[in-house]
Structure 1
Amino acid sequence: MRNKDLRSGRSYDLGKMNLKELWVAYLTHGTILLYFSLIVASIVGVYYTFTGWLPVIGAIIMMILGFPLIWYIIHRWIMHVSILYRIKWTASLWKRIHFDHHQDPHLLNVLFGSPLNTIPTILIVAGGLGYLVGGVPGFFASIGTAVYMASFYEFFHCIQHLGYKPKSKYVLHIKQVHVLHHFHDEKGNYGITNYFWDKVFGTYYEEAKMRDRSPTVFNMGYDLKEAERYPWVMLKTGSPPRDRPAGSNFREQKKPSSEQDKQAA
């Protein structure tokens, strides 16, 4: 731990980090260390409640297959809904779980989900499903698998925002698709490593030319007008919502001229 920035816990700009620096930051981050501890605790739980391999393996397979759908549902219909910022008591939650990440997609500390939100969700959703499949051993096996999947997702989510070009064609592909979610149109590509459910629900797109650019891609609809009506996120942030990341040289796409509009008509 020679890196004083790691010890200070400051937010890292993934756009300025290399792969080696990411590995160090990832493996020493408090959230990831907590996840690893939960995985070990889940293994211990399975060991002391073990009744056979069938409920354990069943719960593990169920969670491996179900996690992408659970993530899609949470990302699309919880993280990206406006109702959370319109209610005073849930505005801070919405800000932390996703608004901050879209305001500046490269900051590591807001990229990771808050354990205060992720762990209860895993215990309730993954644990509940695991218990239905395999009883108490299934409960622990499902939780351990879900936490592992979350850790796996978090690492590749970091890769997708890292200033690094992956050598793997698959990783490069999921990185390019996820970048579109953050810099072109946020109403699509909700997956991280798996876009199967995006394809099922019709929210998948591979290239920017397939859609018009969303004017709310960085603020998810919480613009200045909305902030005036529902000020709680803005008050918590301490500044008005931005329509692009701080320090960004991003430029809006030019609108067609009136002459071009006439020709198009």
Structure 2
Amino acid sequence: MSTFKQFFQGTTLMQKGRSYDLGKMNLSQLWAAYLTYPTILLYFALIIGTAVLSLYLHHSWWGVIIPIPVIIAVYPTAWYIIHRYILHGRWFYRNPITASMWKRIHFDHHQDPHLLEVLFGSPLNTVPTMMVITMPIGWLIGGWGGAFSALSTALVMTCIYEFFHCIQHLAYKPRWQWVVYIKQLHVLHHFHDEDGNYGITNYLPDRLMGTFYRSAKERPRSPYVFNLGYTVEEAERYPWVMRRTGAPPRDRPDPARAPKNEELSKSA
């Protein structure tokens, strides 16, 4: 079957109550889903829009160019801080105002790591976060032209991060050894110990902060890897996430896919 035909077949992929299950998709189907997914299409549109604004508002070419490598350098650290201290922070689910947001942006992803719909963050959360972090940096470097250049760079990096994030949950063995490596590290984060390997493609912040580990043999298995600490006992005290879910939190993944992923986490 040609890649072209596989792409268009992938756009109609539907399985048993799931829209896109990465655990049952191949690489061609991922490309089809990724390039037609509304969130990604929105990011693409914003990349073009912010790039045009950057060029229109720039005072000098350096003010547009310099923010690009600066944001590339800052982005992994910003992601690490957000992932470790906000997405894995327990104070979100303990507040009825933020519980629904926490459920959407990360709890659902750890409960079902292969579901594409909850792998991508909601643009209502991700875009304002990117703006707050990157635009002030770009503005200090090159005014409004630099601010939009910085935001455009962050959007591009987010698209790259999200694609590799998909591959890390895909039923696919990458050909590049580097991709195999980062996939193994991320599988450990989801199926062995969530308090480590917070990066997606860049694990330098993990190394600097002491949260990096290469294999399951380096630390004991976490009892909270699938529920992020939102146990049944916690759900009884703070019921807002459970009410939105309609069921108690799970401490195990989908049994149909658990053996394969757990085997990978143990062998990493």
TM-score in same-fold range (> 0.5):
yes
Matched, 1:210 2:218: yes
Deviation at 1:132, TM superposition (A): 1.7
C-alpha separation between the residues in 2 aligned to 1:115 and 1:249? 28
Q: Percent identity?
A: 59
User: 1:238 matched to which residue of 2?
Assistant: 246
Deviations along 1:199-228, whole A, 9 cap, x unmatched?
000000000000000000000000100000
**In structure 2, C-alpha distance between the alignment counterparts of 1:241 and 1:125, rounded to whole Å:** 32
Equivalents in 2 of 1:234, 1:39: separation in Å?
Answer: 36
Residue 29 of structure 1 pairs with residue 4 of structure 2: no
| Residue 60 to residue 199, structure 1, CA distance change in 2 (3 Å) | same
Cα shift readout 1:148-175 (whole Å, capped 9, x = no counterpart): 0000000000000000000101000000
Residue 102 of structure 2 corresponds to 94
Q: Indicate the residue corresponding to 1:115 in structure 2.
A: 123
Summarize the Cα distance change of 1:139–1:249 in structure 2 as closer, same or farther, 3 Å threshold: closer
User: What residue in structure 2 maps to residue 83 of structure 1?
Assistant: 91
Q: How many pairs align?
A: 250
Task: Please report how far the alpha carbon of residue 5 of structure 1 lies from its aligned counterpart in structure 2 after TM superposition.
Answer: 4.2
How far does residue 52 in structure 1 lie from its aligned partner after superposition?
1.3
2:193 is aligned to 185
Report the Cα offset of residue 249 of structure 1: 6.2
State whether structure 2 residue 56 is matched by structure 1 residue 48. Answer: yes
The 2-side partners of 1:76 and 1:135 are apart by 31
Q: Corresponding residue for 2:266?
A: none
Give the stretch that moved more between structures: 121-130 or 70-79: 121-130
| Residues 79-126 of structure 1 deviation map (CA, whole Å, 9 limit, x = unaligned) | 000000000000001101100000010000100011010011111111
Task: List gaps (5 residues or longer) in structure 1.
Answer: 254-265
- Cα offset for 1:248? 4.2
With the length of structure 1 as denominator, give the TM-score of the two structures.
0.91
What is the aligned partner in structure 2 of residue 171 from structure 1?
179
Q: TM-score normalized by structure 2?
A: 0.90
Q: Which has the larger radius of gyration?
A: 1
Q: Aligned AA for 1:84?
A: F
Superposition CA RMSD, Å: 1.6
CA distance in 2, matches of 1:122, 1:248: 36
Alignment-derived partner of residue 14 in structure 1: 22
State the one-letter code of the partner of 1:217.
V
Contact 2:22 2:169 in 1 (8 A): yes
Amino acid at match of 1:230: Y
- Unmatched segments (≥5 aa) in structure 2: 1-7, 263-268
